[in-house]
Amino acid sequence: MKILKCIFFLFVFCLASEAFGQSSSDLRRQKEALTREIESLNRSLNQTANNKNLSLKEIRALNAQIRLREKKINVINSEVKLLDNQISDNTNTVRSLQSQLNKLKKEYAAMVLFAFRNQSSYSKLMFIFAAENFNQSYKRLKYLQQFSEYRKKQASYIEGTQKELNVKIVELDRNKQEKSNLLTDQQKERRTLGIQKNSKSKVLSSLTSQEKKLKQELTQKQRESATLNRAIQNAINREIEEARKRAEAEARAAIAKAKAENREAPDAKPVASGSSILAATPESAKLSSDFLGSRGSLPWPVTNGMVIEDFGNHTIGRNVTTENNGVDIKTAPGSQVRAVFGGEVAAVQNISGSYAILIRHGEYFTVYSNLKSASVSRGQKVSLKQNIGVVITDPIDGTTEVHFEVRKGATPMNPSSWLAN
């Protein structure tokens, strides 16, 4: 029973170690991906910092870099916690194995002593023939055979436990070294984060003296954003109105058909109001449900990119604020933009020299803007990951960014909660 308990304990521990390994591997991949993004932003920031006319983009790059650095530190913290748990588990395993080994050695020593005292063939024969009957003699013979086999098994268990103990001791030492390396990386990242925050403070201080120029730059950006928002709102309102008219026409047609066939007219149901009319038909209702079910797993609108500005309100300096109804994604020049879900193109518009595409998914919409070209047209059906255009590259600074939004009706939603990590 003791041996079975030992084996069971080792089996459970191996399963726990495997689960730990998977988690640790996932965290390591996350950390490597964040490191690549930070390095890419460093190159972009160096390019942007050399141009004194690009203050807003410099701040956005710094903010994104700080955010990624903080996320990387959090990942390192998670790795350290996992290693702490692994070190604790391995320490307990080493103690348990040492205790098991000591017990096995004591039991084996007792068996060796017993075998030494009864090692002669004469003693064994006397033990067998001293039985009261043949049945008892047979049982004594089987006992001696089983005792010999058990001694061999005990010796094997001791050897196996000793090997397992040595392996766990090596693994424990490796865990401690990994933790030490992680803590060193963590301190390095924290120092770098402090430097970047100081750099941001200096840039913000210099911008304070140029606040008038900064506000002019921001005003232009807000004007473009407002134009895009109006175009999106108008397109969605048009979709809602067309859906309402179709629903009313279908209701009238059903009543007229019933009268022509001398049947009782169906009860007139009130037409849904607002964006809910967009999911009034079975087809659009299923599309809405499927899109909602894909929340958190939608592909990115570009194959490679990183979020340079998040959804929501952002403060730059003391008196300058911006609002983003989506996310801005930095990508490579010439990158293709793709639909994140199947649907129908609701609008394609040229806004200030770049294209914006609105795709309807039942009651939901996705927006793709800052495109230099569009390869789809209004009313066209698109499939998942179908290329719909190409991102424009700023001719002044060479940056390539696509603006992406997710809306339920006309209400903006945070795209980061919809896209796959």
Q: Give the DSSP per-residue string, 52-80.
A: TT-HHHHHHHHHHHHHHHHHHHHHHHHHH
Residue 90 shares a structural domain with residue 224: no
What the block records as the tokens of 304 is 């490679």
Report which of 160, 141, 163 is spatially closest to residue 152, judged by C-alpha positions.
160
- DSSP 8-state assignment for residue 273: -
Residue 90 shares a structural domain with residue 182: yes
Q: Could you list the pLDDT tens digit for every one of the 421 residues in the chain?
A: 444 444 444 444 444 444 444 466 776 666 566 566 656 555 554 544 444 444 566 667 777 777 777 777 777 777 777 777 777 777 777 777 777 777 767 776 776 666 665 555 445 555 555 667 777 766 766 766 676 676 666 666 677 767 777 777 777 677 777 777 777 777 777 777 777 667 666 666 655 555 566 666 667 777 778 888 888 888 888 888 888 888 777 777 776 776 777 777 665 555 556 678 888 788 889 999 999 999 999 999 999 888 888 888 876 655 567 788 999 998 989 999 999 999 999 999 998 889 999 999 999 999 999 999 999 999 999 999 999 999 999 887 778 999 999 999 889 999 999 998 7
- How far apart are alpha carbons 235 and 229 in whole angstroms? 10
Residue 148 shares a structural domain with residue 261: no
Residue 172 shares a structural domain with residue 282: no
Instruction: Give the pLDDT of residue 392.
Output: 93
Instruction: Give the pLDDT of residue 73.
Output: 78
- How far apart are alpha carbons 360 and 345 in whole angstroms? 6
C-alpha 272: how far from its chain's center? 37
Residue 150 shares a structural domain with residue 254: no
Alpha helix (H) residue ranges in 118-210: 121-129, 134-208
For residue 303, the tally of other CB atoms under 10 A from its CB is 13
Instruction: Give the pLDDT of residue 292.
Output: 94
What the block records as the tokens of 10 is 């080792």
What are 108-140's pLDDT values in tens digits? 677 666 666 555 544 555 555 566 777 776 676
Domain end (from 154, 184, 208) = 208
Domain end (from 184, 208, 232) = 208
- DSSP 8-state assignment for residue 132: S
What φ, ψ does residue 319 adopt, rounded to 5°? -125, 10
Instruction: Give the pLDDT of residue 121.
Output: 47
Residue 116 shares a structural domain with residue 134: yes
Instruction: Give the pLDDT of residue 242.
Output: 87
Residue 303 shares a structural domain with residue 394: yes
Residue 388 shares a structural domain with residue 412: yes
Residue 265: CATH number of its domain: 2.70.70.10
- Number of structural domains (the chain) is 2
What are 229-269's pLDDT values in tens digits? 888 888 888 888 888 888 777 777 776 776 777 777 665 55
| Helix-strand-coil split of the chain, %, nearest 5 | 65, 15, 20
- How far apart are alpha carbons 68 and 75 in whole angstroms? 10
Q: Which residues constitute the domain of residue 385?
A: 213-417
Which residues touch 98 (CB under 8 Å, ≥6 apart)? 165
Residue 265 shares a structural domain with residue 390: yes
What the block records as the tokens of 268 is 């007139």
Residue 223 shares a structural domain with residue 101: no
pTM as predicted: 0.59
Residue 221 shares a structural domain with residue 141: no
Domain end (from 208, 230, 260) = 208
Residue 188 shares a structural domain with residue 223: no
- How far apart are alpha carbons 325 and 231 in whole angstroms? 13
Going from the C-alpha of 155 to that of each of 81, 118, 145, 308, 403, the distances in angstroms are 38, 19, 16, 64, 69
